[in-house]
Amino acid sequence: MRRLFLLLIASFLASGAAHADRLDDIKQAGVLRVAAFDSNPPFGFVDPDSKQIVGLDVDYAKVLADKLGVKLELRPTNPANRIPLLTSGKVDLVLANFTITEERAKQLDFSIPYFSSGQQFLAKKGTLTSPDQLNGLRIGADKGTTNEIVLRRDFPKAVVVAFDDTPFAFTALRNGNVQAITQDGPKLVGLLANVPDRENYEIPPFTISDDYIGVGIPKGEKRLADVVNETLLELEASGKAAAIYDAWFGPNTKQPLPRLFKIGDKK
Amino acid sequence: MNFSVISDNLDYLLVGAWPNGPVGGLALTLVLSALSAVASGLVGLVLGIGLAMSAGWPKRLLVVVLGFFRAIPVIMLIFWTYFLLPILFGFSVPEIGTVVVALSLIGGAYLSYAVAAGIESIAAGQWEAGFALGLGRWRVLRLIVLPQALHAMAPSFVNQWTSLVKDTSLAYVIGVPELSFVAAQVNNRAMVYPTEVFLFVGVVYWCLCVSLDRFATALANRRGAAAEGAG
Amino acid sequence: MGVFGEPMALRYLIWLLEGFAVTLLLSAAVSVAATGLGIAVCGLKLSGRRPLVILADTYVSIIRNTPLLVQLFFWYFGASALMPSGLMTWLNTPHVLDAVLVSLHWPAFETIAGFFGLTLYAGAYIAEEFRAGINGVDPAQRESAMALGLRPALVFWLVVLPQAVRIAWLPVVGQYLNTIKNTSLTMAIGLAELSYASRQVETETFLTFQAFGIATILYVAAVAVTEAAGHAVARSGRFAWATQRP
C-alpha cells in the first residue's frame, strides 16, 4: 500500500513537472511510432496477403497504441538498426525481439520482460550436437544482436560471420558458407517452420544463454515506461497475453512451443 | 529456377504495400531517383558555378567540402544523415529525405566538377564578346556561357543520374522500402530463392538505367539536330 | 563527452584498424585485378570481331546498369546456390597454399565473393576509361606514324598506347577511389571490412559517433592519399616522358 502511494506521488510529481515528455508528444501527434522486425516470423514479418507487418511483437504494439488511444505506425527494422532508431528519436518504442542487457540499459530503458528465450543454433542435421563443437565452426549471426556478442565472448575460436538479418544468415547456411547460425530459439523455430526443405535441418536441444525480451523505451521516459509496464501486466491478468502467444506459438500454429514464461515472472 | 516467387510477389515488388500502405518497391525507387536527380542537378549547377567563378580561399574551402563528399562512401553518409544528424543537431530528416539529401550531396559534388569544366571549356572570346556588349559577369554567364556549357555537360549529367538510380538501392541500409529493400524482404520470406529474386531485381534496374540512358541520348541527339538545323 | 561518450577502449580501436586493413588490402587486390580485366575487355572491344565485341558490350552493360549491392547479393547468396555443393564445400574449406616462401591462407567465401564482385564491377568501368583514352588519341598521329612506314602494331604500342594511358590515367585512378568506397558494400555479405567493423564496435560499445566518425575519417584519408598519389604519378617526370606528345 505504501509503495503504491509513493508511486502515485511520484507519478503525480512527474506529470506535474510541466515539461512535455515523450508520452505527451505521442498523444499530441496521435501516432505511436514503433520499430518492428519485417523478416522474422512470427515476431515481425510482412504478411504476403495484406503486405502489412504482422506478428507477435506487432500484436503487443497494437495493444499499446490502443491503450494510448493513438494510431500505430510501424517502421521496419533489422537487428542492428534498433538502438540507433530509438536513440535518434526516429521511433518511440522498439518491439523487435529485443533482448534486455545491462549494456543496452545504459543507452535506453526496457519494460518488464514480455517474452523469454535462450540462444540456440540451427544447423544441417547431424553436424552439431553439443556446445563444445562451436569453437572451430563458422557460425552465421545477425549484426547488432546479443547473440553475436555472446558467441564471440564465450566461444573465441568460433568464426562469427554477421549478416543484416537472420534469413540472410540462413541462406549462407544453406549454401554451405557457414556451418550453423545462431539466434534466439523461438526465432529459429519460426524461421525453420517457413523453410521448404526443413527436414534437412535441426535445432540442437541446447542453449548457451537465457534471454529476456522487453520493449525498448527512450532513456528517461518514465511515464511512457510506466504505461508500457502497466499495459503488459494488464494483458497477462486478462489472459490476452496468453491469447497473443497462442496465436503465434500455440498448438495449432506452424511453430508450436509451450508457454513457460508469464509477464511479471521477472522484473 | 522457380520464378513463381517473383510472380507471387510482383505487386509488392512494384508498388510495395500501396494502396493499403505507403508506396514502395519500384515505384519508390523511381520517386527517389527523380527527386535525387533534380536535387543533385541543382546542387551541381550552383556549386559548379561557384567553383568556376570563385577564387582564393572561398574556392579552396569549396574544393575541400566537395572533396569530402566525393570521398565518403554513400552508406556512411546515409548513416550520418539518418541516425547521427538528429542526435547532433536535434532535427530529424524523414527516411526518404535522408536518402535524397545524401545522394544529391554526393551526386552534386561530382556534377559540380563537370559544370565547372563545362564553363571553363567555353572560349575566352565568348566572355569578351559578352563584355563588349556591355553585359556584366553574371549576365554573360547566364546568357552566353551556360547555354553552351550545358550542352557539353549533358553526358556527365546522364551518367550521374544512372549512378543515382543504382545508388537508391543503398536506402536498403536504413529500411526505406525501395526495390532492393522489398526484394530483400521477399527473399527473406521465401528463403530458398535468392538467385531468382536478385536476378529479377538486377533485370529491373538494368531496364531502368538503360532506358534512362537511351532516352537521354535520343533527347540530346534531337536537340543537337535541332540546334544544327536552326544554325 | 556528450553525444560522443568516453573514448573507446583500445581493443575496439584495433577492430576498426583491422577492418581498415581489410578495406585497403581488398581495394588494392581489386584495383590490380580490375585493371587487368579492364585492359582485356578493352582489347575485346577493339578486336573488331563481332562475337567478342558483343560479349564485351554485354558484360559492360550488365555491370554498369545494375546496383553493386544487388550484384554482391547475387554473387554471394544467389550464385553460390547454383554451384555444385562439392565446389562450395571445397571453397569453404580452409586451404593453405604452400608456395616456396609464403604460405597463403585460403580466404573465406565472403572475401572470394566480395573480391570477385568488386573486380567485375570496377573492371567494366576501367575498360570504358581505357577505351575513351584510346579514342582520345588524335587519329592524325596514327596516320603520320603509319606514313613513316611503321607497322600498325608498332604504331599502337609506341604512339597510341602511351598517350591513351596518359589520357586514361586520372579517370582510372577515379575508379580506384570508387573501389575503396565500394568495398563498404561488402559488409552486407558479411565481409569484415571497415564498415562492418564500425557496426560491430557500435553493437558492443554503443559509441555510434566514435565508431562511424573514425571509419569516415579513415575512408576519407584513404581516398585522399590515393588521389594525391595518382596525381603525383601523373605529374612525375617519368610518366610525362613516357607519354609525351611527339
Q: Which residues in chain C have their CB less than 8 angstroms from residue A172's CB?
A: 76-77, 190
* Cis before A42 (ω within 30): yes
Tell whether the model's pLDDT for residue C71 goes beyond 50. Answer: yes
> Which stretch of A64-73, B40-49, B122-131, C51-60 has the lowest confidence by average pLDDT?
B122-131
Domain ranges of chain B: 4-230
Q: The cell 518497391 sits on which residue? A: B25
pLDDT tens, residue by residue, A29-53: 999 999 999 999 999 999 999 999 9
Helix, strand, coil % over all residues of chain A, rounded to 5: 40, 25, 35
pLDDT value of residue A216? 97
CATH architecture of B4-230: Orthogonal Bundle (1.10)
Cβ distance A176 to C202 less than 8 Å, yes or no, reads no
Average pLDDT on A73-96 reads 95
Q: Does C184 touch chain B if contact means CB atoms closer than 8 Å?
A: yes
Nearest chain C residue to B76 by CA distance is C216
Of B92, B189, B194, the CB nearest to A90: B92
Quote the CA–CA distance of B113 and B111 in Å, as a whole number.
5
pLDDT value of residue C21? 97
Cβ distance C190 to A144 less than 8 Å, yes or no, reads no
Cβ distance B189 to A51 less than 8 Å, yes or no, reads no
Cβ distance B188 to A90 less than 8 Å, yes or no, reads no
pLDDT value of residue A3? 56
Cβ distance C208 to A103 less than 8 Å, yes or no, reads no
* CA B58 to centroid of chain Cα atoms: 25
Across chain C, mean pLDDT equals 89
* More confident site: B222 or A143: A143
Quote the CA–CA distance of B110 and B66 in Å, as a whole number.
8
pLDDT tens, residue by residue, A195-221: 999 999 999 999 999 999 999 999 999
Cβ distance B191 to A89 less than 8 Å, yes or no, reads no
Beta-carbon contacts of residue B138 (< 8 Å; ≥ 6 apart): none
SS (H, E, C) B24-78: CHHHHHHHHHHHHHHHHHHHHHHHHHHHHHCCHHHHHHHHHHHHHHHHCCHHHHH
How much of chain C exceeds pLDDT 90, in percent? 64
* Confidence category of residue B231, pLDDT binned at 50, 70, 90: very low
Cβ distance A174 to C203 less than 8 Å, yes or no, reads no
Average pLDDT on A94-106 reads 95
pLDDT value of residue A18? 45
> Which stretch of A20-34, B21-35, C84-98 has the lowest confidence by average pLDDT?
C84-98
Tell whether the model's pLDDT for residue B9 goes beyond 80. Answer: yes
> Which stretch of A95-99, B16-20, B75-79 has the lowest confidence by average pLDDT?
B16-20
Cβ distance B21 to A52 less than 8 Å, yes or no, reads yes
Range(s) of the domain holding residue C58: 2-90+107-242
Cβ distance B75 to C185 less than 8 Å, yes or no, reads yes
How many angstroms separate the CA of residue A214 from the nearest CA in chain C? 18
Cβ distance B21 to A51 less than 8 Å, yes or no, reads yes
Q: Does A50 touch chain B if contact means CB atoms closer than 8 Å?
A: yes
- Per the domain annotation, does C199 fall within a domain? yes
pLDDT value of residue B142? 92
pLDDT value of residue C157? 87
* More confident site: A87 or A13: A87
Average pLDDT on A183-203 reads 94
Tell whether the model's pLDDT for residue C90 goes beyond 80. Answer: no
Of A171, A172, A176, the CB nearest to C89: A176
Q: Which residues in chain B have their CB less than 8 angstroms from residue C228's CB?
A: none
Across chain A, mean pLDDT equals 91
Cβ atoms of A181 and A71 within 8 Å: the answer is no
Q: Which residues in chain B have their CB less than 8 angstroms from residue C62's CB?
A: 202, 206
Q: What is the ipTM of this complex?
A: 0.92
Q: What is the largest CA-CA distance in chain A?
A: 62
- Per the domain annotation, does C97 fall within a domain? no
* Confidence category of residue B227, pLDDT binned at 50, 70, 90: low
Number of domains in chain C: 1
Q: Does C199 touch chain B if contact means CB atoms closer than 8 Å?
A: no
- Per the domain annotation, does C96 fall within a domain? no
* Cis before C7 (ω within 30): no
The amino acid that residue A88 corresponds to is S
- Per the domain annotation, does C81 fall within a domain? yes
- Per the domain annotation, does C50 fall within a domain? yes
Of C89, C190, C203, the CB nearest to A149: C203
pLDDT value of residue B228? 57
Nearest chain A residue to C87 by CA distance is A176
pLDDT tens, residue by residue, C157-183: 888 888 999 999 999 999 999 999 999
Quote the CA–CA distance of B4 and B197 in Å, as a whole number.
10
Tell whether the model's pLDDT for residue A12 goes beyond 50. Answer: no
How much of chain A exceeds pLDDT 90, in percent? 89
Residue (of B85, B86, B83, B77) closest to B108 by Cα position: B77
- Per the domain annotation, does C210 fall within a domain? yes
Of C61, C70, C215, the CB nearest to B169: C70
Quote the CA–CA distance of C202 and C22 in Å, as a whole number.
18
DSSP notation for C83-109: S-HHHHHHHHS--EEE-SS-EEEPPPH
- Per the domain annotation, does C101 fall within a domain? no
DSSP notation for A177-241: SSSEEEEEHHHHHHHHHT-TTGGGEE--S--S-EEEEEEEEETT-HHHHHHHHHHHHHHHHHTHH
* Confidence category of residue B134, pLDDT binned at 50, 70, 90: very high
Q: Please, which chains are in contact with C (at least 3 CB pairs closer than 8 A)?
A: A, B
Q: Does C209 touch chain A if contact means CB atoms closer than 8 Å?
A: no
Quote the CA–CA distance of A216 and B143 in Å, as a whole number.
58
Average pLDDT on A130-149 reads 94
Cβ distance B185 to A168 less than 8 Å, yes or no, reads no
Tell whether the model's pLDDT for residue A227 goes beyond 50. Answer: yes
* Confidence category of residue C238, pLDDT binned at 50, 70, 90: low
How many angstroms separate the CA of residue C73 from the nearest CA in chain B? 7
Q: What is the CATH classification number for the domain harbouring C235?
A: 1.10.3720.10
Nearest chain A residue to B12 by CA distance is A51
Between β-strands A31-37 and A53-54, what pairing exists: parallel, antiparallel or unpaired?
A: unpaired
Average pLDDT on C22-26 reads 97
Q: Does B17 touch chain A if contact means CB atoms closer than 8 Å?
A: yes
* Domains, chain A, with CATH or none: 2-115+212-249 (3.40.190.10), 117-210 (3.40.190.10)
Portion 163-182 of B in contact with A at CB < 8 A:
174-175, 177, 181
Cβ distance B202 to C208 less than 8 Å, yes or no, reads no
